[in-house]
Amino acid sequence: MDTTPIYELRARLRTVCIAGTSLLSEDFRLKRVYDAFKPLEGASPVFAKLGQLTAQLFSPDCPNLQGALLDAITLTDAVICTLGAVDTQGEIESFTITALETSTDSIVVNAPYSALKELLDALTTSGGGHYGYVCEMHDSHPELFRDYRVKYTLVQALGASYAELADKVEEWLRESNDKTILPLLYKDFDPKGKKEMVRRVRLISALAGAKANDFYIKMLKEAQREVRTELIDALRHDHGNMSLLFALSKTEKGKNRDKVFELIAGIQDEEVNNFFKELAKKKLDIVLIYLRNSTTDWSSDLVAEVCEKILEELKLVDDDSAKEKQEVSDRLQLLVRAIFGKGGPRICECYRKLLANKEKIDMLLKKTWRKPQSVYYYDVLQYGVLQSCRYWYESKVRDIETALGKILHHSLLVNPDPELGALAYELYQNADSKKTNLKFLPAAVTVQFCDDEDCTEWLEQQAKDKILLVSKFSKERMKAITEAAAYIRWNAIENSYEFFGSYLDVHPEFKSIARPIKLSHAREIVEWFQKHSSKLVDEMLSYWIPFNNKCMCSMMGKYFYKKALITGDNRMYLSSMKACGWTVCEGLAIHYCKSKERQISQWELYNYLAEMPGDREAKRAEAQKLKELIRTGEINPSKIDILSLDVWIEKNLYTGGRKD
């Protein structure tokens, strides 16, 4: 339908308005424009009404000519607003979002509201499927979450009724390290609030650190329950809070009081040292708990002194009663946990002395170890202190050698003490024997990574067992090497590698460590791991992808693609390929469907096709090939409806532009 006459009519009506209604009867141009408009009156009741108003202007009996003219102009403007359109030459292309980096902390995303509406609704309203949709959008379109409108909504979602969504949003905001959201976190903060305010405090602590110290102190005056606990924890960022913490130690109760003492234990100060020395004379076990995460010099000396005392108690354990044996055993396990993160010569000597008494200690643990009452407690003897990026590297045995191996490994992640590094080599190489001690291999590998040298030849040697002068590849040794590498990940914000681990025994809090590490030979190390590939290795390598290194991303993307083509259930490789920027998906879905032992549901197949790497055209080509194989019977997944699959492809993988 040609709508040009209505635009011409509006222009003429406005001209008449300027010239005045007294000349209307002589305006032949308006009559000519009206004649051209008349055919449109039958197209719509609104056009018919507009035609009636215009016709009144030519009637000598019109009671209010000026009013009729204004009514005609108003209706014309309204109609033209509804006809608004933009016309441009060229073919329709799929929408892409432009991200403009304005600073290291903020990225402005040019995304239309139409691309955000469903996401904003899912974040702000409750309903089935919202959590899954938001997570899927975060994986497939992370750039949308940098839009300022979404940032505001994400902060509001910290109070979502669905706790899993609120926790996931907190995790994303913390990992983004986006300090531009701090004003939103401060706004309308309620120190007497509930879980939403707890999440806000944790984020402020992670993003602002000591810079928000005045805020912590101000809010602490009225804070209650969990919010108060988190605000107290945030005081750790500024060691100038020592006098305040000592004051709080006299007024706080329960877990808040324990938190205060734990924070005081992290301060390198002689007054603090003397305080805990005196407290240890009365409450030794409590002091070991308070010192468990401290890395101060004085805490290392104090733990070493406690170790000497416990070793003296161990000498007399054979003559002790069952109750006394249990007390020694429990205190010994607290000591092992307290050694974590400590360095220096006296702590190194603690390792040696405990290992020298390993037979007696293991016998005691075997008789006295008891399962902790708390379901969230992780046995330090089997797990150590820190969880890697993905897996728990649990030991199958419970003994002091295994425990100290894990403690030494995890201590090196938080404390790059040269003496701890030398100790790792000493305990691994076992100078008294030609054999190496597998339990200290992760610690030794970690020291190799810290030295920032090409250690691939050394790794190759350590991955083999020597049996009768013959070297044989060992799966157990490879697992130990992989365990060390699993605590390294790429930090996309800092564009560097870092040691990373989350504490296992601080539930329900989330506490982690992250320490930068220089890996100049990361490519060589990655290539070495690829030669000794396994599911465990490939999971670990997915965290080593350096997003800013196109050559390495291309190399790793090709590796993941090849592995996906020979792995039955290859879904674990899809996100890794996409993270590398890999765009080839040929053969992936076909191999997945052919090799699946169980039947694939319609939903599983749709999800797989959507998550494949590549653009719509590449995904559509793979989907069409798969559809033909199903149609011909070469692939026979009984739960797949071919017609529904065809509709899904046309709707979701249409490459000719927008299709409604």
Q: pLDDT tens-digit profile of 287-298?
A: 999 999 999 999
Q: Among all chains, which residue has been given the structure tokens 């993307």?
A: 557
pLDDT > 70: percent of the chain? 90
**Closest C-alpha to 440, from 425, 450, 452:** 425
The pLDDT assigned to 649 comes to 85
The pLDDT assigned to 105 comes to 43
Query: Which of the 8 DSSP states describes residue 146?
Result: G
Q: Among all chains, which residue has been given the structure tokens 């592995």?
A: 563
CA 422, 524, 473: angle at the middle one, nearest 5?
70
**Which segment, 181-190, 361-370, 649-658, is predicted with the most confidence on average?**
181-190
**Closest C-alpha to 575, from 602, 610, 551:** 610
137 — pLDDT class (breaks 50, 70, 90)? confident
> Among 344-348, 364-368, 553-557, 620-624, where is mean pLDDT lowest?
364-368
Cβ atoms within 10 A of the Cβ of 521, count? Answer: 16
Residue count (the chain): 660
Query: Which of the 8 DSSP states describes residue 239?
Result: G
- Token pair, residue 428, equals 């691994």
The mean pLDDT of 555-564, rounded to a whole number, is 96
Torsion of CA 51, 54, 60, 61, to 10 degrees: 60
The pLDDT assigned to 14 comes to 85
What rounded mean pLDDT belongs to the chain? 85
User: Do the beta carbons of residue 566 and residue 587 sit within 8 Å?
Assistant: no
DSSP bridge partners of 514: 500
Query: Which of the 8 DSSP states describes residue 496?
Result: E
- Token pair, residue 598, equals 């169980």
Query: Which of the 8 DSSP states describes residue 599?
Result: P
The mean pLDDT of 367-373, rounded to a whole number, is 71
Higher pLDDT, 553 or 61: 553
Q: What ranges do the domains of the chain cover?
A: 4-82, 566-660
The pLDDT assigned to 657 comes to 42
The pLDDT assigned to 20 comes to 78
User: Do the beta carbons of residue 285 and residue 331 sit within 8 Å?
Assistant: yes
Q: Which residues contact 292 (CB under 8 A, 6 or more apart)?
A: 262, 334, 337, 338, 340
Higher pLDDT, 441 or 2: 441
The pLDDT assigned to 595 comes to 78
The mean pLDDT of 255-284, rounded to a whole number, is 90
Q: Is the peptide bond before 508 cis (omega within 30 degrees of 0)?
A: yes
Between β-strands 470-473 and 464-467, what pairing exists: parallel, antiparallel or unpaired? Answer: antiparallel
494 — pLDDT class (breaks 50, 70, 90)? confident
50 — pLDDT class (breaks 50, 70, 90)? confident
Measured distance CA(393)–CA(48) in Å, rounded: 78
Task: Give me the long-range contacts of 41-45 (CB less than 8 A, separation at least 24).
Answer: 43/1
The yes-or-no verdict on residue 108 having pLDDT over 80 is no
* Cβ-based burial of 100 (10 A; exposed 0-12, middle 13-18, buried ≥19): exposed
Measured distance CA(31)–CA(607) in Å, rounded: 62
43 — pLDDT class (breaks 50, 70, 90)? confident
The yes-or-no verdict on residue 389 having pLDDT over 90 is no
The mean pLDDT of 462-470, rounded to a whole number, is 78
Higher pLDDT, 290 or 115: 290
